[in-house]
A and B are shown apart, each in its own frame.
Chain A
Amino acid sequence: MAAKKTPKRMTKKEFLEKVTHGNLSTDHAAAKMVEELQRYEKKYGMRSEVFYALIAGTPAEDHPDFVQWAICYRSYFRAFQTKFPLKDLASYAV
């Protein structure tokens, strides 16, 4: 009988090499978050901006999807800010 193959764990060195290699673009990370935000928007019939203004930070947020939706929404903006830092955008200010 063949032994069940256990997937090989990464070593910390392998992990660091993969993470620091920079394969994942900010665009790709943000696109995945947008997909998730859109799933929530479709499920609850509400734009993320509206959800965040009305529900996040209130007791109504105490729902499995809403906690995750709020975190995802903030994460999206941080990823966006990484791509377009405010100090760079300041030069466009009138």
Chain B
Amino acid sequence: MRFEGRHQAQIIDRCWSVYLWLVQAFILPESFHVEFPAAAESALVSDALHVTVPMTEQLALSLREEYALGRQGLEVSRYSYNVIDRNGNNVLRADNLPYHKTDYRGRTLIHPPHHLHDKQGRVRSFTGQLQDFISYAKSFLTSP
């Protein structure tokens, strides 16, 4: 094996979870299944996963996670989950940058520093869980 250690094993486990969440949520093209292992392999040397997932002809998910080994094992130390349109414009974004304390109505974020910038650019509470972002993105596809 080219890699050893708990850290790499945890990165592979995380990548596998990301893969499962995506294939359970969307019908993805063959190219995604072919290319995903290379993205996971890249994560092993860079401690960061970056995948772009076509949702429709107009919209794609761009997911980026940066990993660190914490007390509880692997932690997603920084992430940026995005829905982008065909021109590369951002229409939905979630991240854990520590610059927002409240949502757009002035209420304290429920899971700071995790937050979401909605279609109107307004800050909303977000759990920080990729599964929740995927669900949100999926519901976004069906919303008017």
Interface residues of A, Cβ cutoff 8 Å to B = 6-10, 12, 15-16, 18-20, 22-24, 26, 29-30, 32-33, 59, 61-62, 64, 67-68, 70-72, 74-76, 78-79, 82-83
Let me know if A68 and B37 touch, CB within 8 A.
Answer: no
Distance between B71 CB and nearest chain A CB, rounded to angstroms = 20
A19-B46 in contact given A62-B97, A74-B66 (Cβ < 8 Å):
no
Main secondary structure of the interface of B (DSSP, over half): mixed
Q: Identify which of A12, A15, A26 contacts B45 (C-beta below 8 A).
A: A26
Q: Identify which of A15, A18, A23, A33 contacts B46 (C-beta below 8 A).
A: A33
Asked if B141 is an interface residue, CB under 8 A from chain A, the answer is: no
Let me know if A19 and B82 touch, CB within 8 A.
Answer: no
Known contacts A24-B41, A29-B45, A71-B50; 10 additional CB pairs below 8 A are A7-B28, A12-B16, A20-B1, A24-B42, A32-B42, A71-B80, A75-B48, A78-B45, A78-B47, A79-B46
